A and B are shown apart, each in its own frame.
Chain A
């Protein structure tokens, strides 16, 4: 109780520096949180795309129906191919019509009752080998019986590189900000100790143990860290739910992950950063005035 009172007293006395360190810590947490939210969303989007990492191979019209089974086997034999599905041109047409019911009328207007589509194979590439996607696609395209191939290669490549950049950037930003916030918190605590060096000195003279003197300052560091964590969480939540999600759904077809799905990790991140920085930042700055 005395320790808590003492910590609060010090925060009150030193409120400018305390606010500064809370804000810097918040900035640190918000950047880390945002990086995490982005990366989680990209990850989820890629997963969706991965489920959809389809190569569509259109079969040349000249190929006999009896040959299709052996052709499918041949494609299944290619390395990294996960599964192959055969779709007849009638099935494809029906699917197309159901997906774009409004626009499908132009098909019959153009072609009458004739089906303009080709028989096709839908090929899934193993998710762990997405980097081989292009090779697989090229290999299938090279087959004599295949008229042409369409795939989502470019999108996959883009997302892969985006995620890599995000991961590397996020990592370094996190390291830099963690160092900065550690520095700020430890300086805040140092200042708090400097303000009370007189008191600390007298405490030493009347026989207070170092642990006794240290406790309020460590508590102060932890309070700074935890309040930054709580505030950051609130800000992150408001920005994500009330600003980012409506914006994204307005501008694109991408669906974002819900905040409640991501919040456990964010709480974990913010809480541990706040606690760690507060604890370490204060614990390391205290020894200077204890040597009496």
Chain B
């Protein structure tokens, strides 16, 4: 369960990114967080990952209270989630296999487990045949799927996708969403952060709409579509 309770966040430069955000996401939900750029979407991701700490209010991610937790527990928090970054954040000098395996090594998995698990996950995202390639040899959509595989590989309870349609063509974006949907069907909580309304309209899911650091609507169904 993820809980934002009256969360405020202001940065040192004086920007007030969040001004009292409240929402709750139950385990196994599929949620879009939408809003224009500068609305506070990326701050929400940063808070979820404990990259930032709220200035006011409470952020709860599973058993972790983001504000009060000890920094030594942060690795544990991050192991409970998989994040697909907008810019993918792959390591260009490592093969696709190693890019994914690396996330498993970082949490201390045995080489044997890694050898078995990585091809399986690459198979899920449809990149089994590209294991030996390097990221620059892949298309944007393929790179995104490698990032997806890396996020999935440690079996997290929560997947966060940051602008999954930002850097790929529409066809790829749709495939990506199907994949996220599938993962969600298996019980994983999925949060998709985006400003792409067509995507939101296509999937009939819960939408949390953020603007100027506030939640302006929180309901099931395409928000943009309703406006018309």
Contacts and interface: CB of A to CB of B under 8 A. Distances in A.
Q: Decide whether A and B assemble into one complex.
A: yes
Interface of A: 2, 198-199, 201-209, 212, 292
Nearest to B51: A292
B78 interface: yes
Interface of B: 49, 51, 74-79, 82-83, 85, 89, 91, 102-103, 105-108, 111, 150, 154
A209 B51 contact: no
26 contacts: A2-B105, A199-B102, A202-B89, A202-B102, A202-B103, A203-B102, A203-B106, A205-B49, A205-B85, A206-B78, A206-B79, A206-B82, A206-B106, A206-B150, A206-B154, A207-B77, A207-B78, A207-B79, A207-B107, A207-B154, A208-B75, A208-B107, A209-B75, A212-B106, A212-B108, A292-B51
B193 to A, nearest CB: 15
A211 to B, nearest CB: 10
A205 B83 contact: yes
Contacts of B107: 206-208
Contacts of B83: 205
Tell me the dominant secondary structure on chain B's binding face.
helix
B15 to A, nearest CB: 20
A204 B75 CA distance: 7
Given A206-B78, A207-B76, A198 B102 contact: no
A208 B150 CA distance: 14
Contacts of A209: 75
B75 A198 contact: no
A202 B76 CA distance: 15
Given A206-B103, A207-B107, A198 B79 contact: no
Nearest to B83: A205
A207 B91 contact: no
Contacts of A198: 89, 91
